[in-house]
Structure 1
């Protein structure tokens, strides 16, 4: 598998991102992750989506550490400081799941509180369902777990078409366009930092095409199996969605209906928060999750 590695200087002096890099090898590729807080503390696993990276969680990481938790925030393969295979065919839903599972196993993470947004949920929910004993709680934020048995909404289909047809793919502008608040030029540039040119963007281009939208998609059956676990999941399960995300709107109610552990939890809809609610309401979201963790006990 051929891959590219973004030069380190691309990540120097990014606003609000002082975290030292850490790496593990997964499937012959180098995966980057942020590790902050005491190693013996309870772990919060922050999984980003498309086309962002761990920079998305920069406002939240210090608050978790101040509250006494350990934070692990990886960059998915193809994103951030992680290696970027150059062929789109090298990226599959299953491989993303396996890469994250490998990280968790190598770090021997246990008693995990998962926070998954966008693809961080699509991947993280699969991992949690397949490694249930390692997880204490789940927080879903603007995400879903599709099987292809129900058609996607038009907002997602528009995004999917754009991601495949746009002559240039500007990650910073994509993030900016899916936020309710204005981003500075420096922050937009930070989202572009992992991608010096189009050669580095195979993973970002491929992600939308990997979402199951038909019942016979390769990921449909594994996702159905994950739902079989989630429909019996009685550990604490929280939804924290934004009020201004057309792509995942309604997903929170679906989780609340289907997952037993979501009953009687302090679910929240954050106001003036779009798809990337970590940008719009990062500090508020972190405090919501901290209160949820403190107020719930894993079975």
Structure 2
């Protein structure tokens, strides 16, 4: 049985700039406890804006959580969109398997598939970054009838056939083997702005001790970097769909991310739906949601206004 833990509620009692109501959906059958009851693993998500509007699905990456989108969510909700921002399993307020080996690319795909199925999401606009893109782009490619538009900022869908920056290998080694894995400092290293003490505390909140960090440590090793990676075939198949994707596909990469630099041009050259759109380069580091949240949110709203 999958073993998981739940971050205590008191960890989230004093978050700055995150006033959103909690919502949960069960994504795993769970395990039996001594009482004979079944404890299901659950995913947390933010759900703001009109409930009858088309959803904007904001997907975070490594090692952040939905707090990353806190400054974008109100802007897109105010424009009349239903904004849904989940915490991936192992992150934020979602439950956290305690063994690194419990996480795989495929398990994250299955958890997110369960998520959109149970919420019955349709006409989705995907907004994604980092691992939010690795999962989200494949999710869209495997459920094309559910998605109407895609906005990618600092993300990609790798197959293991492309070269990988040396900086990524250093990051992968650090994540797996370093005894010190400071979440907020990792996020801060990927921003132009200086995170306040309260913001750093918010990024650390889901992870009060090392046993809560298995999911954050697992992600780097799950990125396909060789052609024989377990996720390669599924990702190649997803690209076959993206090569024919004629619905809006907008890139909003930042000007200061050495890991994903050039990915926007790569996708624009290959995805038909990117043609004729107002692609943008925003100011910021890897976590452009911290550095340019208003511009990022405006790009989403403008795309939907122009293509509605």
Q: TM-score with structure 1 length normalisation?
A: 0.98
Q: Secondary structure at the match of 2:253?
A: strand
The aligned residue for residue 115 of structure 1 is 127
Q: What SS does structure 1 have at the residue aligned with 2:213?
A: helix
Of 270, 291, 295, the match for 2:302: 291
Aligned to 1:52: 64
Q: CA deviation at 1:133?
A: 0.3
Q: What is the RMSD computed on CA atoms of the aligned residues?
A: 0.8
Q: Distance in 2 between matches of 1:281 and 1:162?
A: 28
The residue aligned with 2:50 is: 38
Distance, in Å, in 2 between the alignment partners of 1:255 and 1:294 is 22
Q: Partner of 2:61: helix, strand, or coil?
A: coil
Task: Give the CA deviation at 1:151.
Answer: 2.3
Moved more, 103-112 or 152-161: 152-161
Could you tell me how far apart the structure 2 residues matched to 1:119 and 1:12 are? 27
Q: Which runs of 5+ in 1 are unaligned?
A: none
C-alpha separation in 2, matches of 1:226 and 1:110: 19
Give the Cα separation in 2 of the matches to 1:280 and 1:159: 22
Residue-by-residue CA offset, 1:48-82 (whole Å, 9 max, x unaligned): 00000000000000001110000110000000000
SS in 2 for 1:32: strand
Structure 2 equivalent of residue 27 of structure 1: 28
Counterpart of 2:227 (choices 195, 199, 215) is: 215
Residues 146-198 of structure 1 deviation map (CA, whole Å, 9 limit, x = unaligned):
10012211122222122123211111000001001110011011000000100
Residue ranges of structure 2 left out of the alignment (5+ in a row): 30-40
Query: Where does residue 139 of structure 2 map in the other structure?
Result: 127
SS at match of 2:179: coil
- Number of residue pairs the alignment of both structures matches: 296
Give structure 1 regions of 4+ aligned residues with deviation exceeding 6 angstroms: none
C-alpha separation between the residues in 2 aligned to 1:50 and 1:174?
Answer: 9
